[in-house]
Each structure stands twice: as C-alpha cells, then as structure tokens.
Chains A and B, each alone.
Chain A
Amino acid sequence: MTVSALILEAVSKRFQETGGPQVEALTDLSVQVKPGVITGLLGPDGAGKTTLMRLATGLLAPDHGRVAVFGVDTQRETHRIPALIGYMPQRFGLYEDLSVQENLNLYADLQGLAPAARAARYDELLRMTALGPFGTRRAGDLSGGMKQKLGLACALLRTPPLLLLDEPTVGVDPISRRELWAMIQDLLRSKVTVIISTAYLDEAERCDDLIVLHEGKLLGQGSPEMLRAPLAGRSFLVQAADGGRRRLRQQLAGRAGVIDAQVQAEAVRVITAAGSAVQPEDGEHWETVPPRFEDAFIALLHRHPAAAHKTESSLPPSPLAPADITREPVILVRELRRFFGHFEAVKGISFQVAAGEIFGLLGANGAGKTTAFRMLCGLLPPSSGVLRVAGTDVRSARATARARIGYVSQKFSLYGNLSVAQNLRFFASAYGLQGTRHVARLRWAEEEFDLGPYRDANAGELPLGFKQRLALACALLHEPRILFLDEPTSGVDPLARREFWVRINRLAEDGVTVMITTHFMEEAEYCDHLVLMSLGEILAAGTPTEVRRLAQSTGHPHPTMEDAFITLIESHEAQNRRAS
C-alpha cells in the first residue's frame, strides 16, 4: 500500500480576527492526496485553500484532527516536514532586492543543497524556467510570470517529494500560465507530488485529481472526468436566431431549471439542474455539448445551499430596450502615443468605442494596456495623439472628462479603515453629490449591490468579492456615462466573477459604456469589441469572434480566445525579434 502524500483527518481550524468574530476556515475536513500526481485545490475565496496549504507545511496547527505528510505528523514531528516539502506561497516568497541568482543561492543554503550539486541544479532550473539570461536581474524587476517561475525554481531546488503551490497563476498572463503548467507536468517524471490551488477553472482540467472546497468543507473529490460525469447531458450551447447573445443569456438565466447561463463565443452556455428538462423556446437552437469541469464546479456549488449566490432572478429586471443611444463614438483614440524617456510604452494606437458597448483591452503584462488605460482616464497625459472621451478632449479638459467617467482601479482604492457606509458617503461627497441626490444615490448603492448587511463593516475586512462590489458602487455613484475597470476580477473567485459580469451586462444594457482590462480570456467573450495589445501595439481588433478567427488554422479549427491570444502574441513577438 502506498502512503498518501498528504492526509487530513477530521481537521478543523479557526482564526480569531483581531477585534472581529471567529472565522472557521476549515470544518471537520478529511482528505487524502495520492502520491505522484497533480492534485488541484479549488474553491471560491475563503474556501480554506490557503489554510489547507499552510497546515500541510506545518506552519499552522489544526485545532482538531491530524495532518500528515507522507505519514509524518506535521505537529509531532514538525522538524521533519521542511525536508519533505517545497512551498511557494501566494506572493512567491522572493526577495525583490536580490537578483535571480542570489535568491537561488539563499534558498539553496537554506535547504542544505550541497555546494557540489549546485551548478548542475541551477543550470537545470534556469533552463527549465528560461531565466538563464536574467541571472543578475533583481527579482523585483521581473515580470509577474518570471517571478512566478523563479519562485517555483526556489521551491524546487532540492526536488521535494511534495510541492505545494498556492495560487501560483493569479495575475499571470496566459502565456506564462501555459509555460508554468508545462513545467509542473514535467515534474511528475521526477516523482514529485504536486498540490496546486487555483482560481482558474480551466486549469482544473490539467490536474489528475481535484479537491473542491467551499467554506471550509469538502464539496467533492475526484478526477475531472469523475466530477464532470454527472453533468453529461446537462450542458448546452444555445443560439438564438434573433437578438444578441447577451440578451439571450439574460433570458435563459431566469428560466426554471437553468442553473447557469454564460456567454461563450457566439452562443450561451447553459447548465440545467439535475433531472429537469428545459424546453427550448421558439427560435432557440439547443445543442448538447460535453461538460467542462467549470460546469461541474458551478453545479457542485449550486447543490450547496450556502453557496447560492445572488443570481439574476433576484435582481430587478433591467429595461431590455436600451435607452436612446447615440451612435457617435464615446471614446475616440487616434495615434495615441506615450513615451517614458526613450521607451515607447504605447506606439500610436487607434480605436473607437460606441456608447453602451463593453470594450475589452487585452494584453500580456507589459503590453502597454495599463498605460493606455491611464491616459484614457485622464490620469496620465499622452505624449501625442487625439483622445476624446464623452465628447471632451481629455488632453485639454481633463476635469470635465473625469466628471463623466467612473474608474475602478485594480486595487479598488477603498479606505480600509472606513466602514462601507463611510466609504460610500466619502465618494459621494468627492463627486459633489448633494441634497436629495446624495441620499438617493447612497440608498441606490446599498440596495443595488446588497451592501446592507455589511454597512458598518470596515472595507478592509470585506471578502474580495464584496470589496469589488463596493468599489463598483463608489465608481457609479455619480452616474457616469463611461465606466473604466482595470482588472476588476483579478483574484476574485468564479462565482463572484459571474455575478460581477451580470452587473456589468446590466449597466451596458442601460447605456453605460464599459471599458475593461482583464487577464481572464473567457471574459473577453463578454465584450462587444476588443483590442489585443502587445509591446505597445494593437495586434488585433474586432468582435471576439473576429479575433478568434485570426488564429484559425487547419490544425486548429475552433481556437479559444486564449489560443488566439497566445498565437497572435507569439507570432508578433517572433516578428519583432526577426526585425531586430
């Protein structure tokens, strides 16, 4: 009989928040992790993923129950655990002011790697991570993807029997994610057991075994195939002859027997409840499709009553007929450039956005999308070019333009020490709302975003999903015509992300123009139009379908948005290298 790589037996763990209530991170959890495979740890925010990882490292002690790594109890024989594990915490554990090589040296010293064995191991790891040319660069100057690879290399110096990776792919672009997964799959050959927690559901498909957690409890464990099996015949792609996919999605989401409806390519992906047959309506074309893991995950969470999130059915219906929308572009960008010294971060990009559109700005780290975004919001003056937002020239009248836009930054810009109500009041005053409008908008924000129960909680202590809601509420208080969202869903769990998109769709239907940057390629599907940026240039522009078609080839007839993204960026970067 083989020994499990990790065993949790009836483990409970509580945390006492300073001045707050006790939080039960894990409740009576029992799981086993098989050796020699990749086990994925999945669950929304606050499911207990990080707590489980830390219990496995022995850095946390369970309140009840027992945790053992390869049969070694993490509490009774704590000193033996470090030799058994390699651990990469969420922020990679790198020293940013040390170079790549110095980080490796430090961890080699700490893990007791013999000096004689080092040169060969460094070589191997640097080749695997393609970090070789960057040996003298400081870790802080590396891109997110490179930091993540270096973090992995540091955890792998001694080839640990069990490798623990806590959300290694958060905030990392698709190309780096793909490379990381290739590296992880390679590790299996050297008999390393891998536990990886992730918020990206498509990554679940790459694992051999999955542990699905929710609010500290086990929802399910098994291979992706096993977890998908009950969903056979319950996943559909629905197309309507008339009307847009967004409207169709909204109609489907409200229908009885439908658990989930999400835009996918030209169609809407629908999951139905077990045992309920949904009758297609006139003009709809339903096609049964093989279930993905994501479908299974949503279905699992739905079975769990506590997980029932607010869905469209509980939201007040939005007027489906959009208000009189002018066809004039709301955002007009011509030959926009931005230099930082001699470095050209944005190289003369042009595009336009119509009113009521959801417009996506996509690109890998360092593609120039944040720079472009900041110029659009009037936060950064452009070096040259035309930039009109809501009919105002941003370059000459930034203040006027700003009054018409709402902005949610990546870090949400909330006051962590102020309560939800105080944050709302502050932003209302900052936008100059007065009298009855002030009162009315505050009430609107609380109701629309369900913030009532959290009124007096400090913004800093909210779950990420609620922080995101509050940030959105603050940005919408002055009823802007244009909403700018900079990676609003980064790190937010799948359920909260869905809910967020429902809101964004409703806003677009009400005629608000939404400009968004995102790392999640599936979210690009929600956009009406998008541009794909790389190295400061626009590589592709158009509807999601048009962009996906660019990557079509005989070998790859149905590329996903992620395939398109990677194909386009790789060929562009290859061209650039040839040119230089």
Chain B
Amino acid sequence: MKIQRLRGLVRKELLQIGRDPSAIAIALILPVFLLLLFGYGVSLNARHVPIALVTGHPSPQTASLFGGFDQSPYFDPRPYNSIVTARRALVRHQVDAIVWLRGDFSRRLLAGRDAAIGVFVNGVDANNARLLEGYTQGVWSSWSQEQAPGAALTAPVTVEDRVWFNPALRSRNYLVPGLIAIIMTLIGALLTALVVAREWERGTMEALMATPVSMGEILLSKLIPYFALGMGGMALSVSMAIWLFAVPLRGSVLVLFSAAAVFLFAALGMGLLISTVAKNQFVASMIAIVATFLPAFILSGFIFDVNSMPAPIRLLTHIIAARYFVAMLQTIFGAGDVWPVVLANGAALVLMAAFFLGLTWRLSRKRLD
C-alpha cells in the first residue's frame, strides 16, 4: 500500500464523479426524488376515498349521518338515488364503498329500535377495504354518540377512536426511516456496481493493472469516495425526514450515522462484488437492481412485515442486509437507542460487510483471465 498511489487514484475517482453527473444524481438527487415520491405518494392510510351514500328516504337523521361522512377527511361522499346505481358505480370502481340507509332507517331510529346501516366495501384491494371498514365504523360510532350521548353504547368507543383516527402521522413515521434504508441500498450498490465495470469496459483496467498499483489500492480508491458520497446521501435523507416530513428522531445522531456507516460498507461491498464479477456496466446495473434493490424493497420489512411472511421467505430475509438496517432505523427513529436492537442488527451488518468486501478482495486478482 503506497499513499501516493492511493491518493492519485482517489483524486482520479473524485474528478470522475465531478465530471460525470450520473454519480452525483444517484447519490444526491435520487434520495430526494424517492423520499418525495414515497413520503408524499405512498401512504398506508386511505384519504379522500370516493364512497356512495344511498338513502331510500331522506330525513334529518340521514342528513346528519351523511354530514359526518362529508366532514371526514377520509371520504369523498357522493349521493346516489338507488342502491342499484350505487352498486354499478362500485363495480366500475367509481366508488370504493357504499353506505346504504334503508327507507325505514329514521323510523326505526326514532322508535329506539335497531337501525341497521348497510356498508358494502370493494374487497379487491383487501388492505384498503379493511381500512375503509374501520373508517366507516368510526364515522358511524362518533355520530351515534352525538345522537344519543346518554344512550350507552356498550362498545369501548374510545379505544377504536385512536386506531382509526390518528394513523396518518404514524404511517409516515415508520415508512420514511425504512425508505432511507432502501435508498441507501440503492445508492451503495448502484454507485460501486458501475465503477469497476466501467474500468473493464473502457479498457482502463488493463492499463491500471500494468502499473505497480495493487488491487487493494484500486478497491480502496473505489470505497473511499463513494463512502463519502453515500454518507452525504444519508445526511440529506435524514435532514429531509426530520425537517420536511417531521419524523421525530428519538435516538442519537451518532448511533444513527454509525449504523449507516456499517450498512454502507455492506452495500458498497455488494456493489463492488457485482461490478468485479460482471465486468460490464449494463449487466452490473441490472444485477444491482435485481439482487439488492428489489429484495431490499420487498423483504426488508420496510412495507411488508417480515413476521407475517411464510417461514422459507422469512429465512431468506436474513441474508438481506437492508432488513437489519430497516430494523435499526425504525427503532432509532421511533423508539430511541434501544441497545439490544442496535447491537444485534449492527453485528449482522458488520458480518455482511466483512463477507462482501472480503469476497471482492479474494476475487479481484491482478489478472486478465
């Protein structure tokens, strides 16, 4: 290892990053883009859902119940004249649910008898359907409390209130930290997956190898600048999470960035390994996306809970580095520096980083065949 050679290589790498906007785009623009897209676009809560309101016999009571739906931020109610047209609208996806008050609704209500509400939910999107079910129940129970505050409803209404009425913030609070893990996977793997392959493709690797430089120096010169770039992307993502999406950070910044550093080594190691094996930029970027980004997206627990996966798939998630990082980030952001979680997952990441970097080291020989 000679410092002059390493410095020369790192300087070259930095110049290339400066000249080629794609690396900067991946490290700094991609996180912003993805965070905006997912932070605002993806929400596990339903909002402004079109629903059909049908009543056979309009009365002050039906009007006040429908008023409850009108005021709810979750619904975008549309009146329909008959249940037939409302059903047609449901089938055609013009509305996602129907709330149906029969002609005798007001009469039975005033008579103090059981006044049934018909609720139809389009179950094609099962997740959404379950949410809608909950929301309609929420509207209905708060309305019925207003109607008859004295009349005891046996159900523990207050508990349900919290579940159904205050999820918006919480969904973003755990989505955004998970998203940061996905973004870091993409940055780490994509940045380095291209750079070694590029040297092979452009014929510069051959010229490099004919100089006294060692493979270790070449690999280090790839790690150092992209590690810095990746940490920059991390800082940007965390800033956006805290100040734009108002996600509270309960743990310490130091632990957060230490976790990121360890994870970044694993991600960069994966990228370098792909690049070393593929020797072709196009193939390398395909492998990087299929082998790192997609599994991280699906199997990391970022959106889909790992515990509800079938056992074989759950086993598979253990080799996804992002899984450990998602768990760490969600804990550090949401709960604070919970040491058992941080240390266990951190150890797994250290192992993975050592594995990928070590394997890359073994596979990169100063040879052309």
Chain A residues in the interface with B (C-beta under 8 A): 15, 54, 57, 59-61, 78-79, 82-83, 85-98, 102, 105-112, 138, 151, 154-155
Contact = CB atoms under 8 A, between A and B. Distances in A.
Contacts of B9: 106, 109-110
A114 to B, nearest CB: 9
A59 B366 contact: yes
A57 B5 contact: no
Interface stretch (B150-158, B208-216, B304-312, B341-349): B208-216
A87 B368 contact: no
A556 B86 CA distance: 98
B5 A97 contact: no
Interface stretch (B10-18, B53-61, B350-358): B10-18
B5 A59 contact: no
Contacts of B209: 57, 59
Nearest to A54: B368
20 contacts: A15-B369, A54-B368, A59-B206, A61-B367, A82-B212, A82-B213, A85-B210, A89-B207, A89-B210, A93-B206, A96-B202, A98-B12, A105-B8, A106-B12, A109-B4, A109-B7, A109-B11, A112-B2, A112-B4, A138-B19
Given A57-B210, A89-B206, A97 B16 contact: yes
A110 B16 contact: no
B204 interface: yes
Interface of B: 2, 4-5, 7-9, 11-12, 15-16, 19-20, 202-204, 206-213, 366-369
B15 A93 contact: no
Contacts of A78: 366
A59 B15 contact: no
B211 A94 contact: no
B278 to A, nearest CB: 12
A298 B4 CA distance: 49
Given A15-B369, A59-B366, A109-B5, A87 B12 contact: no
A470 B19 CA distance: 39
A94 B202 CA distance: 8
Contacts of A106: 8-9, 11-12
Contacts of B369: 15, 60-61
Given A15-B369, A95-B12, A105-B8, A110 B211 contact: yes
B153 to A, nearest CB: 70
Given A59-B206, A89-B206, A98-B12, A110 B367 contact: no
A98 B208 contact: no
A83 B212 contact: yes
B212 A97 contact: no
Contacts of B12: 95, 98, 102, 106
A90 B203 contact: yes
Contacts of B208: 93, 110
Contact of A93 (B7, B203, B368): B203
B204 A95 contact: yes
- Which are the 6 A-B pairs with shortest beta-carbon distances? A93-B207, A109-B8, A91-B203, A87-B210, A110-B211, A97-B19
Nearest to B204: A93
A97 B15 CA distance: 8
Given A109-B5, A110-B5, A111-B211, A98 B367 contact: no
Contacts of A59: 206, 209-210, 366-368
| Interface-central residue, B8, B16, B19, B206, by most chain A CB under 10 Å | B206
Given A89-B207, A93-B203, A98 B212 contact: no
Nearest to A93: B207
Contacts of B11: 105-106, 109
A98 B19 CA distance: 8
B188 to A, nearest CB: 22
Contacts of B8: 105-106, 108-110
Contact of B368 (A60, A85, A155): A60
Given A91-B203, A95-B16, 17 more contacts: A59-B367, A61-B367, A79-B212, A92-B207, A93-B206, A95-B12, A96-B202, A98-B16, A102-B15, A105-B11, A106-B8, A109-B7, A110-B8, A110-B9, A110-B211, A112-B4, A151-B207
Contacts of A15: 369
Contacts of A105: 8, 11
B309 to A, nearest CB: 36
A261 B294 CA distance: 63
A88 B210 CA distance: 9
B4 A98 contact: no
A411 B366 CA distance: 31
B366 to A, nearest CB: 7
Given A60-B369, A106-B11, A91 B202 contact: yes
Nearest to B16: A97
Contacts of A97: 15-16, 19-20
Contacts of B2: 112
B275 to A, nearest CB: 17
Contacts of B16: 95, 97-98
A154 B7 CA distance: 18
